[in-house]
């Protein structure tokens, strides 16, 4: 396991991060993703920690708080030293029926941070992330609330998730101008069949030096290698009941054809190639991997040992690269005078 600095900080996190979205679901949307109980979650956390993963990501909204409770109890059950694990969680989504029990307002952030700490059984959160953009709350209010949490040592670092490039840069400017706690990272969707963030977000991350945490690196199971384009009955797994994130299946099937060839050369799986490709992208800090079983997690962890050649990376890029789009093609054309 390799470790990378998370954004403009001295914090080092493992290149793979254990995702806990499969913890604690019931007969709702979260149950379609996973319904792991405490014993099963303990097994996954132990497997991850033994493999060198020091980074765990959860969210208050996952299974209505159950994921955080199970995650915190797992750390306690396994006796994992607090200074050897980096715990990240998120806030934004509805956590009650009240009109203020949601969003990125100071009201909701302060309330939910306290509740997350209680569920996790921790005295501080290492990375506290805003789970998405709140159009009703001024960005400055959100950032000032987060900065307060940092100054009170309830939170060590702050990050964002699922924000547009312009929103992130605006937040960075506000934080710098008002001398608030700096933004460290962005958590975003990125896969071989979902490379949209390369248009605006990747250039922004490189420009500002932010870390990137990748969620759903297997595109909701599409890149697991379980799906057969010629057999609709074989398209089982999580996407049957929870078809997310959206995937262009024609482009996706073409990518999987190439991935199967490369996987065979490495004695690896399609899923491992998908994860390995992400780990070869210099903008990526950590890839969040979730699982329902220990053997699934072990297989995902093995992707860290898959070294793709330049030729293999070129083949994967050729079959999945984004079509040219304005202003990208114009910027490229006009930049020639600086060559």
CA dihedral 179, 181, 186, 187 (to 10 degrees): -160
How far is 153 from 146, CA to CA, in rounded Å?
11
Out of 62, 128, 157, 227, the active site residue is 62
- Beta carbons of 211 and 185 less than 8 angstroms apart: yes
Structure tokens given for 302? 């093995």
With H, G, I as helix, E, B as strand and everything else as coil, classify residue 57.
Answer: strand
Cα–Cα distances in Å, from 133 out to 3, 36, 161?
A: 29, 29, 8
Q: Nearest CA to 62 among 14, 28, 110?
A: 28
Start-to-end CA span in the chain (Å) = 38
- In 3-state terms, what secondary structure has residue 22? coil
Contact yes or no for 202/283 (Cβ under 8 A): yes
Q: What are phi and psi of 81, to 5 degrees?
A: -60, 135
Task: For residue 107, indicate whether it is catalytic.
Answer: no
Question: Facing residues of 160 across strands?
Answer: 130, 186
Q: Which of 189, 181, 187, 257 is nearest to 218 (CA)?
A: 189
Q: Which single residue is written with the structure tokens 């569920």? A: 119
Strand, coil or helix: 170: helix
Residues annotated as catalytic are 62
């Amino acid at each position: 396991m390799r470790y990378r600095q998370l954004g403009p900080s001295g914090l080092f996190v493992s290149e793979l991060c254990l995702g806990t979205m499969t913890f604690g679901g019931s007969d709702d949307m979260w149950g379609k993703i996973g319904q792991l109980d405490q014993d099963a979650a303990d097994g996954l956390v132990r497997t991850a920690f033994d493999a060198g993963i020091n980074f765990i990501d959860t969210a208050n909204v996952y299974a209505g708080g159950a994921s955080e409770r199970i995650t915190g109890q797992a750390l306690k059950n396994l006796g994992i030293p607090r200074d050897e694990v980096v715990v990240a969680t998120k806030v934004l989504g509805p956590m009650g029926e009240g009109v203020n029990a949601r969003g990125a307002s100071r009201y909701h952030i302060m309330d939910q941070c306290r509740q997350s700490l209680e569920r996790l059984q921790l005295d501080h959160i290492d990375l506290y992330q805003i789970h998405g953009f709140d159009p009703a709350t001024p960005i400055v209010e959100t950032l000032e609330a987060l900065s307060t949490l940092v100054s009170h040592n309830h939170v060590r670092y702050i990050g964002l998730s699922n924000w547009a490039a312009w929103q992130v840069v605006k937040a960075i400017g506000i934080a710098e101008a008002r001398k608030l706690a700096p933004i460290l990272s962005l958590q975003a969707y990125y896969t071989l069949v979902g490379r949209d963030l390369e248009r605006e977000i990747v250039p922004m991350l490189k420009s500002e030096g932010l870390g990137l945490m990748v969620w759903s690196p297997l595109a909701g199971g599409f890149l697991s290698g379980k799906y057969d384009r010629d057999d609709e009955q074989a398209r089982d797994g999580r996407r049957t009941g929870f078809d997310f994130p959206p995937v262009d299946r024609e482009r996706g099937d073409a990518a999987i054809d190439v991935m199967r060839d490369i996987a065979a050369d490495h004695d690896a799986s399609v899923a491992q190639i998908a994860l390995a490709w992400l780990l070869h992208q210099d903008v990526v800090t950590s890839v969040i991997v979730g699982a329902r079983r220990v053997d699934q997690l072990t297989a995902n962890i093995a992707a860290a040992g898959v070294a793709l050649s330049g030729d293999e990376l070129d083949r994967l890029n050729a079959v999945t690269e984004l079509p040219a789009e304005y202003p990208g093609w114009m910027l490229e054309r006009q930049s020639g005078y600086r060559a």
